[in-house]
Amino acid sequence: MLRSEQLKRPLLWVPSSFFAMGLVNQILVVVSAIMFRNLGMGYAEAAAYASQFYLAYAIQPLLAPLVDTFKTRKFYVVGSQLCIAVGFGLVALCLQLPAYVAIVIAILWLVSFAGSIQDVASNGVYLNALDNKQQAKFIGLQSLSWGLGPIVGAGAMVAYSGHLFSTLGSWVSVWQIIFALLSVILLLIALIHQALLPADPPASVPVVEKPTLKLTHAFTSFFLKKDIGIMIAFAFFYRLSQGLLEKIVPFFMMDPLSNGGLGLDNIALGNINSLGFSAFLVGSVAGGWFIVRRDLKPSLMFLCCAVNIPNIFYVLLSLYQPESFWLVAAAIPLEKFFFGMGATGHMIYMMQQLAPGEFRTTHYAFGTGFMGLCMWSMGSVSGFLVELLGYQQFFIVVLLAAIPSFYVTWRVPFNQGAAAS
């Protein structure tokens, strides 16, 4: 009876599933970079190291067939979250060691694979437990719940780190406390999902039915989809500008005015991050409403504009370097609102146009994997581009990165019909 109710009431598990995904993702790819900067690492190096944690998300297609073939998706959701909790706990312990940098990077790199598996399995539960109408209905809640993760991780935790530093005076001690708290949070989420997540049957055929052949079919069937080339290009290029911005915007806000930054401390950075990701949530809900009202196909170019055009705010901030906290706190959330709105179109296109077929979990993971490959590659070079160009010229390059995004959005096909219909 409980299982039936879980399937009928996605509110029991959709928010916590996507909150955990957003929290872990942001801790790995954004907060880790802020921590490295606090611990004395240069911003080019910090951006490059933190971007490597995105590699596991980029190779999700290699991990997805495992989820689709062996055990159940719930097994991988709960198991990966337990592994993440242990990993964050180990980071808290190892930060006090003399050679902690290499050890912490290695632990977080392993945690990133658990985070990637968590994403594949959680998306698989969402895609298989809900029909197309329910997916469209809950896409706003899904995006909102994912966005709560960054509010807690890149917002509240970063601001709290600033308050802790004012008391403790040691960044090592500060980040030990932060990662201990994160470990507890992930442990609680894993226990909640063990009790409430829908217990789907094993995600494909039994292992005795030639799993190697099934894995091969999962890969080959994806690349045999009609118009797969342009759909892959869409998955990769749609967020190209955001891949460049993700690591650099926090550094830009933290760097002193003399280095071209805005001179904010961790407290101000965390508060602006919270405002920004709150705006992202509102934008996600607005994007879901917009798609449901107009359908995705006639809306997608407008949503692409929402992702890219507001990046001009960063050019203006780098030119004028306003010292007013409230001016910065207005500009960045406004950009995040439009990004949240536009990102909804990206997600629902991959769910409704790229993923359909026998291997929905695997094929959706291909889409998010190509998106992750974009974030990994752009994040890896973003710090070096800032060192080469400076913030002003870098943000102009970000604006130019919208060109391939517009092109693939114009060309992308709709072979499955209107996504939100």
Q: Where are the domains of the chain?
A: 9-198+210-411
Tens of pLDDT, residues 263-295: 999 999 999 999 998 998 889 889 888 888 888
% helix, strand, coil for the chain, step of 5:
80, 0, 20
Taking each helix axis from N to C terminus, what angle separates 100-129 and 43-52, rounded to the nearest 10 degrees?
40
Q: What is the pLDDT of residue 145?
A: 84
The Cα 102–Cα 158 span in angstroms is: 22
The dihedral of CA 75, 217, 416, 414: what is its sign? positive
344: left (phi over 0), alpha (psi -120 to 50) or beta: alpha
The count of other CB atoms within 10 Å of the CB of residue 94 is 18
Q: What is the pLDDT of residue 214?
A: 64
45-79 burial, b for 16+ CB within 10 Å, e for fewer?
ebbbbbbbbbbbbbbbbbbbbbbbbbebbbbbbbb
Tens of pLDDT, residues 76-95: 999 999 999 999 999 999 99
In this prediction, the residues of the chain whose per-residue pLDDT falls under 50 are 1-8, 203-209, 418-421
Burial of 294 (0-12, 13-18, 19+ CB in 10 A): middle
CATH for the stretch 9-198+210-411: 1.20.1250.20
Q: What is the pLDDT of residue 63?
A: 76
- What are the helix and strand counts (H, E) for the chain? 20, 0
CA torsion 293-297-301-303 (nearest 10°) is 40
The Cα 22–Cα 282 span in angstroms is: 15
The Cα 73–Cα 172 span in angstroms is: 37
Q: What is the pLDDT of residue 202?
A: 53
**What's the farthest any 2 CA atoms get from each other in the chain?**
65
Q: What is the pLDDT of residue 205?
A: 44
Burial of 220 (0-12, 13-18, 19+ CB in 10 A): exposed
Chain centroid, CA 352 distance in Å: 19
User: What end-to-end distance do the CA atoms of the chain give, in Å?
Assistant: 31
Smallest CA-to-CA distance from 68 within 138, 22, 123 is with 123
Angstrom distances, CA of residue 416 to CA of 8, 355, 411:
25, 10, 15
The label of the residue with tokens 């997805």 reads 64
Strands (E), 14-98: none
Helix, strand, or coil (residue 238): coil
Residues with Cβ < 8 Å from 102, sequence gap 6 or more? none
Helix, strand, or coil (residue 298): coil
The Cα 239–Cα 43 span in angstroms is: 22
